[in-house]
Structure 1
Amino acid sequence: MMKRVIYISIFVSIFGLALSTESILNALITSIFAGYDPSVRPICRGYEQVNVSLDLGLRELIDLNEPQQIIKLKLWIRLLWTDCLLKWNPNDYHNVSNVVVPFKNIWTPDLTLFDSVSTEFWGLDKFRAIISFDGTVQYNFPTVMEVQCQVDVTKFPFDQQTCPLQFGSWIYTGKQLDMNLQSDHADLSELKQNVEWDVTGVPAVKHIKYYACCPDPYIDLTYNLYLKRKPRYYKTNIILPSMIITLLAALGFILPVDSGEKVSLEVTVLLSLTVFQLLIADKLPPSDEARPWIGLY
């Protein structure tokens, strides 16, 4: 009988603590979101400018479509800013120092990827944010992006490409929203290797630009994605056969004129060169601005 009473007492205590914690969170959420409008940029005395910091991690280079010059990436993005309207004293709410809320309940910076060809910024509004008692908001989300990337194939297949990923606010000026980098390079610790490209680095830089339309500056954060092509496949299937055909063609000039095999050798080399050119036509990336050296060869 005594054990049953003890078990009931423990259950009631745990259940009461759960109800108490839930009521505290409800009271906290009701308090900080009273009169809060997530569609309006938070402005307080001494906090007229919202400071946003951006961190980026590259998970996978999915594809680089050279004919269309579009690169497809899988990323995760971490945003950090301070919302002066979302502050509270933890002592008033049993030391609750942070809460997790849906994306739609808070104001968020209009992060935009310039030169994007995607129909939407996938993942930006599909997760939850963490709010600390001092107004600090953390929002992390994964995403898949397609970006226009200018490809120079002059040195194909030993070429290196640079694809800039330029992030910024489309609406707010630098006086309203300041953007900063959490790190001077993207995180590559969880990068999956691509079969054709090596990612040699993703350094980041902050730009402050002035446009003719507006007197205030606009800020963007640019991550330069450096890529190096893996040439082993092309060495085996394009360069080596080309060298062999060239040697066979040169061999025809060495054979004596009275050799009966000279004419047939040159005809065979010409036919093999024609067939080989048709086979590698689809392997060479088309470009009107730069012609690959191997194509000229």
Structure 2
Amino acid sequence: MEDVKTLLADLMVNYSSEVRPVKDQTKPVSIDVGMSLVSINDFNEVTGVISVVIVLFLSWTDESLVWDSSSYNNTTSLTFSEKKIWVPKMYLINPADDFNPISSKHFKVTVLANGSVSWTPGRILQATCQPDVSKFPFDLQICTISVNPYGYLGTKVSLTANVPTINFGFYSPNSAWDIISTEAFVTSSGVDIASFTIEMSRRPLNFMVSVVIPIIMLALINPFVFILPFNSGERTSYSITVLLAFTVYMTVVSDRMPASSEPMSHLSYYLLSMLALSVFIVTVNIFQIRTYSKDDNEEPVPKWMKNLIKNFCNICRKGKVETKSRDPNETRKSSDKFESIKNHNMIRLESIDESDLTENQTHSKEKNHNEMSFSQPENITWYTVAKYADKLYFTAFLVFTGIASLVYFVEVVT
């Protein structure tokens, strides 16, 4: 202990913590810089601020702190308070709150007999970070923490990144972000700046379950208003309720987005398109209700509209016929069923009364006539027009919603 006290007293004789520790003052002090990330406390996309806990690893040579270890009972190292010697006070140059050095009186320095000094100050930092939420919630964020020995030019203090990445020996994982890659480098433009880049990806499950999936579900049930019965009286309230739900979710999403317009989130565009579609559905539904309620005697259905519905029915009927004719399995099943019925009827042919056969044929003709009336109505009323329009709107809006949802997922995942 006495040897260490003597060594420390001898080193501090004529030592000044205000003078750079090089005998030739025209040369810079070369400092190796590294960083260890302890934790990511928070990343606020709205304000563009990342809060992290970091530790800096700084090492340099102090030419005034060299001794012969054999003269002090083989003492090869000393550890004491940083305020006793010269240290390069490092400042965060992209701060979001205050501008204070990354150090305090509680951090220690370790000095070796050859003059090598190691210093590991740490602090909670809040740095600015420009967010890119275009693929939110599948977004990647790249944030940079830049430090500099404020007050010293590059000719006085030079920085060197001793390792090309950030150290994670003390890192505690974050529940919302995964670290993809890191990089450490030094840039010089009159002053040396050590920059540490962190690329991180969001864990999207929480936001998917709470926001994205409910929005897609709402979008998919939105067109189902057109299959509600007209007499139920719930069509208008149903469509307006869905519209209000989209408005609420737009507020929720906007609270998580930054106030800047560049870049915009694809989710915001998707939600806006679904909101516009919901407004259009409400408008169309109001006209549909009015169409259902029209009086055919006061305002007959126009002839061109009747022809349009008939042509639509013919196209649908031809499509069904072609589908059935192209299916060999159905044809084979129908043929087998016909042969079975034919054999059964031949056995019972003698016991069938002619009047019964006539009655069955008449019933069959009526059934075929009713089927044809259903497939192609003879008397087209406003109720019929509204009914076929409901089918058209339901199909069109459902297809549009499915395509928009698919495009959104492709954009944010790829």
Structure 1 residues 279 and 172: alpha-carbon distance in aligned structure 2, compared to 1, 3 A threshold? closer
* Inter-partner Cα distance in structure 1 for 2:104 and 2:204: 36
Instruction: Look up the match of 2:155.
Output: 175
Higher mean displacement: 171-180 or 235-244: 171-180
Deviation, structure 1 residue 276: 3.6
* Aligned-partner residue type, residue 215 of structure 2: S
Q: Does the 8 A contact of 1:153 with 1:287 survive in 2? A: no
* Inter-partner Cα distance in structure 2 for 1:275 and 1:115: 36
2:178 paired with 1:205: no
Q: Does the 8 A contact of 1:185 with 1:203 survive in 2? A: yes
* Inter-partner Cα distance in structure 2 for 1:70 and 1:275: 26
Instruction: Look up the match of 2:216.
Output: 243
Deviation, structure 1 residue 278: 4.1
Alignment of 1:228-267 (within 5 A): 228-253=201-226, 255=227, 258=230, 260=232, 262-267=235-240
Deviation, structure 1 residue 126: 2.1
Instruction: Look up the match of 1:28.
Output: 7
Q: Helix, strand or coil: the match of 2:17?
A: coil
Q: Helix, strand or coil: the match of 2:120?
A: strand
Q: Does the 8 A contact of 1:121 with 1:145 survive in 2? A: no
Deviation, structure 1 residue 286: 3.8
> TM-score, structure 1 length as denominator?
0.82
Q: What RMSD in Å do the two structures reach over aligned CA positions?
A: 2.2
* Inter-partner Cα distance in structure 2 for 1:47 and 1:271: 71
Q: Helix, strand or coil: the match of 2:195?
A: strand
Deviation, structure 1 residue 218: 2.0
* Inter-partner Cα distance in structure 2 for 1:46 and 1:277: 62
Instruction: Look up the match of 1:188.
Output: 168
- Is the helix fraction higher in 1 or 2? 2
Higher mean displacement: 156-165 or 166-175: 166-175
Structure 1 residues 256 and 205: alpha-carbon distance in aligned structure 2, compared to 1, 3 A threshold? same
Instruction: Look up the match of 1:42.
Output: 21
Q: Does the 8 A contact of 2:45 with 2:257 survive in 1? A: no
Higher mean displacement: 228-237 or 62-71: 62-71
Structure 1 residues 104 and 159: alpha-carbon distance in aligned structure 2, compared to 1, 3 A threshold? same
Structure 1 residues 86 and 275: alpha-carbon distance in aligned structure 2, compared to 1, 3 A threshold? closer
Instruction: Look up the match of 2:131.
Output: 151
Which protein shows a greater Rg?
2
* Inter-partner Cα distance in structure 2 for 1:242 and 1:269: 10
Q: Does the 8 A contact of 2:79 with 2:109 survive in 1? A: yes
Any unmatched runs of 5+ in structure 1?
Answer: 1-21, 210-216
Q: Does the 8 A contact of 2:29 with 2:156 survive in 1? A: yes
2:46 paired with 1:67: yes
Instruction: Look up the match of 2:115.
Output: 135
Instruction: Look up the match of 1:293.
Output: 266
Question: How many pairs were matched up?
Answer: 268
Deviation, structure 1 residue 125: 3.5
* Inter-partner Cα distance in structure 1 for 2:166 and 2:22: 31
- Is the strand fraction higher in 1 or 2? 1
Structure 1 residues 117 and 278: alpha-carbon distance in aligned structure 2, compared to 1, 3 A threshold? closer
* Inter-partner Cα distance in structure 2 for 1:47 and 1:135: 19
* Inter-partner Cα distance in structure 1 for 2:248 and 2:193: 50
Any unmatched runs of 5+ in structure 2?
Answer: 271-414
Structure 1 runs (4+) deviating above 6 angstroms are none
* Aligned-partner residue type, residue 36 of structure 2: G
* Inter-partner Cα distance in structure 1 for 2:160 and 2:249: 52
Instruction: Name which structure has the greater RCO, CA cutoff 8 Å, separation 6+.
Output: 1
Identical aligned residues as a percent: 23
* Inter-partner Cα distance in structure 1 for 2:33 and 2:231: 73
Deviation, structure 1 residue 280: 4.4
